[in-house]
Structure 1
């Protein structure tokens, strides 16, 4: 049988395929044996191993389950997201791998609504704006919006994560898109606030210097109760796992919640803004 030699350095797809082959051969499995375990054909496994077929999210998660890499820092799902979403900020694909499995999500946002709470129309306006500014290509804009839909869908599960959201008042007052887009987005926030697993608060402008964060921040509590933090600059994202660095951020987030408006007062402010854009 002819065996195609792989060059993992030639492309991200080749690196993914070479890793699949290496782990398979370490276990003494033929392609057909791995295919049966993963629910694919031997031809499909061969195509992924040789870089002729791009892996899918389902394939990547199945590989993580079969090879026991799902709880490691270097999952196949992370590799898949880096392949598919190479235009995203550095560090973001790694964060998303944790986001979809978190049991609790704490978010703070400034200026725009957090992606997990965006309507498709609101997200599309932001992506299209990036295209007009020459930041991304049109096909990358489509990737961003579809990727966001995947992230949101991952949170709709039998036991959804608790979601604690604090957003700066600028998020609801900054007009994105026309009337219909913004009205729909504010309606989405009001619906979100009514869910049993959510808390939504507004950090009003009056907080002034008492606001502890000047950049957006997300804190994820994982199934083992470890907490990781994710923050972005204009150029890159950073996922922080070191407990000594994360705990002060968690303390500051609690202070933010204490200073922010209650959910009832926050909902009242959103409703008032909603009326004002008529």
Structure 2
């Protein structure tokens, strides 16, 4: 028991599944070996699932449901692991984001979540739902988490926020002209806040753009720094300064090349007028 790993179900869907599997097993007074005999999987494999190192496959979850007498509940939870609403690493980052004294972000193709209007955010998750990329429940989870993140910025004192938006963020229409107009108006309002600096990285930067994927950098109260980056299917939280420091340098280079805040607001207003 001395080596028993503590599990945090909020860490990821995979961790939540592991916590539930362990709880169900121990509730019956079974060891991992006992469950192994009933499932046909090795105790090592079961341990890997319980601590979040192994992904529960549909075959595994079906076997676990049968062994534990849980109907199809583990199979349904396993589907959320294979198709999560929230990427691994993101829940942990959100906790740190809520503590950060400085936040630096770069976004491509869409208005950053922290700055999204409610109608814009709803259009984003609505599109994902229509494509079958997420379920209605997952869409609700995403919107709830976004609201929580945005409210965390209202704390006193608020974090200093530096944002660089690729020009595609303001030109890519989401939800139609009305939704986009509201979203751009919100960006201008955010840029006017005393704790926010907003810049646009124009298409003309070309090869001078030092970042090629969305990135968020957070400085914590102890002045340590973390980064979070994601692709369509994975997210990565990084605390190692060997990796974070070069990203911070690239971010500063991007800020130097991007439009000033005044010129950025002028571009946003120009795009906004074109939608009238």
Q: Within 5 A, what are the aligned runs for 1:33-44?
A: none
Tell me whether 1:173 sits opposite 2:168 in the alignment.
Answer: no
Unaligned runs of 5+ in 2: 1-6, 8-14, 25-79
Q: Segments of 4+ in structure 1 off by > 2 A?
A: 8-18
Shift of 1:97: 1.1
Shift of 1:16: 10
Shift of 1:13: 5.7
- Secondary structure at 2:161 match in 1: strand
Distance 2:128 2:272 in 1: 26
Deviations along 1:215-251, one digit per CA (max 9) or x if unpaired, are 0010000000001011001211001111111111111
| Equivalent position of 1:267 in the other structure | 265
Deviations along 1:181-211, one digit per CA (max 9) or x if unpaired, are 1000000000001100000000001100000
Q: Within 5 A, what are the aligned runs for 1:183-194?
A: 183-194=181-192
Aligned residue among 60, 85, 88 for 2:86: 88
* Paired residues of 2:200 and 2:259 also in contact (CA < 8 A): yes
Distance 1:152 1:10, change over 3 A: closer
Which has the higher mean CA deviation after the structures are superposed, 196-205 or 85-94?
85-94
Distance 1:257 1:170 in 2: 16
Aligned residue among 113, 116, 119 for 1:115: 113
Shift of 1:87: 2.4
- Secondary structure at 1:185 match in 2: helix
| Equivalent position of 2:246 in the other structure | 248
| Equivalent position of 2:152 in the other structure | 154
Distance 1:194 1:119 in 2: 16
Distance 1:10 1:116 in 2: 26
Distance 2:84 2:91 in 1: 9
| Equivalent position of 2:51 in the other structure | none
Shift of 1:11: 4.3
| Equivalent position of 2:55 in the other structure | none
Distance 2:146 2:85 in 1: 14
Tell me whether 1:100 sits opposite 2:106 in the alignment.
Answer: no
Distance 1:13 1:119 in 2: 35
Distance 1:151 1:15 in 2: 29
Deviations along 1:161-182, one digit per CA (max 9) or x if unpaired, are 0000000000000000112110
* Paired residues of 2:85 and 2:141 also in contact (CA < 8 A): no
Distance 1:206 1:215 in 2: 17
- Secondary structure at 2:178 match in 1: helix
Shift of 1:14: 4.4
State the TM-score, normalized to the length of structure 2: 0.71
* Paired residues of 2:209 and 2:254 also in contact (CA < 8 A): yes
| Equivalent position of 1:220 in the other structure | 218
Distance 2:214 2:167 in 1: 13
Distance 1:10 1:90, change over 3 A: closer
Distance 1:101 1:14 in 2: 29
Q: How many residues align?
A: 207
Distance 1:201 1:16 in 2: 48
Distance 2:138 2:22 in 1: 22
State the TM-score, normalized to the length of structure 1: 0.70
